[in-house]
Amino acid sequence: MTYLKSRRFIGAAFTAITMLSITRTITGNGDLTSTVTIAQALVFASPIALAGLAGIWAERAGVINIGLEGMMILGTFGAGWAGWQWGAWAGVLAGVVFGAIGGLLLAVAAVTFGVDQIIAGTAINLLALGLTKFLAILLFTDAPGGGQAQSPPIKGDIPTYTIDAIVTPLTALHDKAIFFISDLAGLVAGLFYHLSLLTIIAAILFVMTSYLLWKTAFGLRLRSAGENPWAADSLGVKVVQYKYTAVVFSGMLAGLGGAYLSIASTIYRNGNTAGRGFIGLATMIFGDWRPGGTAAGALMFGYIDTLRLIDTGNQNVKGLILLGAIILFAIGGVMLRKAKRNSAIGFLVLGSVMVGAYFSASSFPPEVAQVAPYITTLLVLATASQNLRPPAADGVPYRKGDHH
């Protein structure tokens, strides 16, 4: 099983690098796989990944958490407020605690009172937005370096690591522009370039989640609360307790994601989350409520965001279009082999349109890259949602003894 899994992982990674490499070779745009791009993509991906992981925890226990955005907002605020006064680590801690408070609120409304979970989450988003804006004006307006909508700079920093012994030779190798090898070198070097300790923590949390939720009795019980809470209850699982644990931990993770954002931009700023909680939710669905797929979805968002923002010569978006076309062709090919003719034709046509666009325009506006991740998510959902399997009792209010 593990052997098969790791083989599949290596296969997927190999395919991904090959596609990137083809794109890089045709476009001649080294930025697509450069050390800096990858390092920055990790920074952009981490908060989204943490939000997605937060979603996994809540929804695996059967509670839809659309309040992720609000909990992230609370996290950004907590980090800005505490970080400005007592340093970056205090900021991280406060972000986690503030997120947990948001999670607790959702648990009280959705688990104890059985309010519709989407409604409760929406209310939390509203409340978090109002509360943080209000407190920002009160606490930051007169603070030196602060303003009505932003905190003073966060003191100190979370350590980041660069391993020169790896980065320098691999970056040099990347610049040689050899097919596949240079791209692999750039990708690997990016992992060791200005790598934040928070990113490492996020990665550990992903591994820990896979283990806890899928390999332990605790995880089995927690997931049973999301699949069939009544059956779980009949077997003696304290369903309410598990749901509370899951939702509060979900809030903590979302809060950590928010704190990551504030630390990365060194201040709290109103609206800094910019919908990343919702994007995290999308990556969770994209990843079929599992950590691996969720991380992949978050990396896609982070990668596209990076290419859009460092697009100096206006060529990165063009590269992305070609990459998208190659991916579509690959999926179309797979579909053909699986004898799904209609889907295959859809993908091949869409891929051809993108190739046509690539060769007919000299550059593309950044808005194309801005919407690309969302369109990709819609495409993935449209093709794969029959294969996605959310927890069976996701979103269903549970009351002990209340049979369905």
Partner 1 sequence: MNLRRIGTSLIAPAIGLFVSLAATAIILIVIGASVSTVFSSMWNYGTSPRAMSLMLNLATTYFLSALAVSIGFKMNLFNIGVNGQYVLGALAGAVVASNLTLPRIASVTITVLVAMIVGAAWAGIAAWLKVARGVSEVISTIMLNFIAIGIISYLIVRTSIGTETSLNVRGTKLIPESGMLRGVALLDPGTPIYGFFFISIVVGVGYWFLLNRTRFGFDLRATGKSATAARTSGVQSNRMIIVTMLLSGAVAGLVGLPYLLGETGTYSLQFPTDWGFTGIAIALLGRNNPLGIALGAILWAFLDISSGQLILEGVPREISTIMQGLIVIVVVISYEVVRRYQVKSEQTSVAKALEKQEATV
Contact call for residue 133 and partner 1 (CB under 8 A): yes
In whole angstroms, how close is the CB of 124 to partner 1 at the nearest point? 7
Of 120 and 327, CB closest to partner 1: 120
By the rule CB under 8 A, 365 interacts with partner 1: yes
- Render 5-71 in DSSP notation, one character per residue: HHHHHHHHHHHHHHHHHHHHHHHT-GGGG-HHHHHHHHHHHHHHHHHHHHHHHHHHTT---TTHHHH
Determine, following the binding rule CB under 8 A, whether residue 371 of this chain makes contact with partner 1: yes
Q: Does 334 bind partner 1 (CB under 8 A)?
A: no
3-state secondary structure of 297: helix
Q: Which of 282, 295, 325, 331 binds partner 1 (CB under 8 A)?
A: 282
3-class DSSP state of 269 = strand
Judged by CB, which is closer to partner 1: 134, or 179? 134
114 binds partner 1 (CB under 8 A): yes
Find the part of the chain contacting partner 1 (CB under 8 A) among 106-114, 185-193, 319-327, 347-355: 106-114
Is 138 one of the binding residues for partner 1 (CB under 8 A)? Answer: yes
Contact 34, 324 (CB under 8 A): no
C-alpha 339/C-alpha 114 separation (Å) is 45
Q: How far is the CB of 378 from partner 1 (least distance, A)?
A: 5
Q: How many CB atoms sit inside 10 A of residue 143's CB?
A: 14
Binding range to partner 1, per CB under 8 A, among 21-29, 34-42, 119-127, 200-208: 119-127
Which residue number, 164 or 367, has a Cβ lying nearer to partner 1?
A: 367
Query: Which residues from 260-279 bind partner 1, rule CB under 8 A?
Result: 275, 278
Q: Tell me the sheet residues that pair with 160.
A: 196
Strands, E assignment, 302-385: none
105 binds partner 1 (CB under 8 A): yes
| Cα distance between residue 216 and residue 339, in whole Å | 39
Q: Which residues of 156-192 are buried (b: 16+ CB within 10 A; e: fewer)?
A: eebeeeeeeebbeebbebbeeeeeeebbbbbbbbbbb
Residue 139 or residue 252: which is nearer to partner 1 going by CB? Answer: 139
**Residue 363 in contact with partner 1, rule: CB under 8 A:** no
Residue (360 or 386) nearer to partner 1, CB:
386
* Interacting residues with partner 1 (CB under 8 A): 66, 105, 109, 113-116, 118-120, 122-131, 133-134, 137-138, 275, 278, 281-282, 285, 365, 367-368, 370-371, 374-375, 377-378, 381-383, 385-386
